[in-house]
Structure 1
Amino acid sequence: MSNSSNTVVGLLAGTVIGATLGILFAPDKGAKTRQRISDEALAAKDKIVDTASDLTDKVSSSVAGQKESLDTQLENVVSNVSHKAEDVISTLEKKLKELKEQNKKLQKSA
């Protein structure tokens, strides 16, 4: 998890704990306090679900972007390797031609 997501989770947890403690120490009737705790818990759950959804979306888009970047880099590597292989083959063909010519000269002189 990144630092920003840890910070968001920490802030949400602190908010929930603070709201719960505030409600518990407020001078209200028990039924009203329980209802407020329930309402606060549901609101916190909704905030957490929204935050998790946002984080999921961010991670998904980041992964998609990284995949595209990786695909592009892979295509570049394959293209470069292909060109290098062609250069190596051309060099080897020239060297083979030179060696054949030297071999002909050596066979004629022998």
Structure 2
Amino acid sequence: MSNNTGNTLLALLTGAAIGAGIGILFAPDKGSKTRGKIKNGFDDAKCELKNKLDHASLELKDKFASAKYDLEGTYEELVSNMSHKTEDVISFLEEKLAELKRQNAKLQK
């Protein structure tokens, strides 16, 4: 989870706790109504937290999918470059082998 998301979640939980505390201290209603309001506030905070976690989860999945796509592209590019380099090395070695065969043929005469 990113640091920004962690800070957001911490702020959300802190805000919910402070709001509940202030609500209890300044509640003009009966205890049962105050408890109902706190429960509703808690349910709202829980719902909001769930939405933020779902959103963060989707963002994380998107980033991993993007990273996987980038990695696959980089891998394909690397394989392609290595293939070209391999062909160059093989061509160079074949030329050297032919040259050595010519030199060997001259020496054997």
- The question of a shared fold, defined as TM-score above 0.5 by the shorter chain, is answered with yes
1:70-109 aligned at under 5 Å gives the runs 70-108=71-109
| TM-score normalised by length of structure 1 | 0.94
- Name the amino acid aligned to 1:89: I
Aligned equivalents of 2:106, 2:13: Cα separation in 1: 87
1:3-82 aligned at under 5 Å gives the runs 3-27=3-27, 28-82=29-83
Aligned equivalents of 2:66, 2:36: Cα separation in 1: 45
4+ long deviations beyond 4 Å: none
**Percent of aligned pairs with the same amino acid:** 38
Aligned equivalents of 2:6, 2:57: Cα separation in 1: 14
- Name the amino acid aligned to 1:60: K
Aligned equivalents of 2:32, 2:9: Cα separation in 1: 29
RMSD: 0.9
| TM-score normalised by length of structure 2 | 0.95
Aligned equivalents of 1:65, 1:92: Cα separation in 2: 40
Aligned equivalents of 2:34, 2:51: Cα separation in 1: 26
What is the CA-CA distance between 1:85 and the residue it aligns to?
Answer: 0.5
Aligned equivalents of 1:98, 1:81: Cα separation in 2: 25
Query: Could you list the runs of 5+ residues in structure 1 that have no partner in the other structure?
Result: none
Q: Which has the higher contact order (CA 8 A, sep 6+)?
A: 2
Aligned equivalents of 2:40, 2:22: Cα separation in 1: 14
Query: Could you list the runs of 5+ residues in structure 2 that have no partner in the other structure?
Result: none
Aligned equivalents of 1:101, 1:80: Cα separation in 2: 32
Aligned equivalents of 2:30, 2:99: Cα separation in 1: 102
What is the CA-CA distance between 1:6 and the residue it aligns to?
Answer: 1.3
